[in-house]
A = this chain, B = another copy of it.
Amino acid sequence: MKDRIDEQLHSRNIKPTAMRELVLKVLTDQKTAISLPELELKFEKADKATLYRTLKTFEENKLIHSINDGTASVKYALCRESCECYPEDLHVHFLCTVCEHTYCLNDIPVPKINLPAKFRLENVNMVVKGVCSNCYT
């Protein structure tokens, strides 16, 4: 288990500290994306700033990606093994208005957009809001 975690960290050139292993473990166990405040709650006693910087490190090294779902807090989720966060790697996200969970729709790539002349695309954030299958009536 720990081996697998450390391997993941190593593959993204992140030094495996105790804190980082714990955070990555939490992220791995998540089925939906998690925010910094939510992450704090996963620990008995953990420093917000450290978690914040851990997430930043993870994101900079493309171990995780951030999602702006329009709620108060940014969510984070693991990148796939092969992900380099290029526009063509991106997928759609889904925010359920009932359970408030944010899903990575890994199988749904962000559609290609034809921008006006002389607009250069670098990144895309596409979030669909609605009701998820768990909350479906």
- What is the interface of chain A, defined by CB distance below 8 A to chain B? 68-70, 92, 94, 97, 105, 107-108, 111, 113-133, 136
B119 touching A133 by the CB < 8 A rule? yes
Interchain nearest-CB distance for A117 vs B (Å): 7
B130 touching A120 by the CB < 8 A rule? yes
Interchain nearest-CB distance for A112 vs B (Å): 8
A128: contacting residue among B69, B121, B129, B136, CB under 8 A: B121
Inter-chain contacts of A107 with B (CB < 8 A): 116
Given the interface pairs A70-B68, A133-B118, the reply to whether A113 lies near B123 with Cβ below 8 Å is no
Listed from nearest, the 6 A-B pairs whose CB atoms lie closest are A118-B133, A111-B111, A122-B130, A123-B129, A68-B70, A120-B131
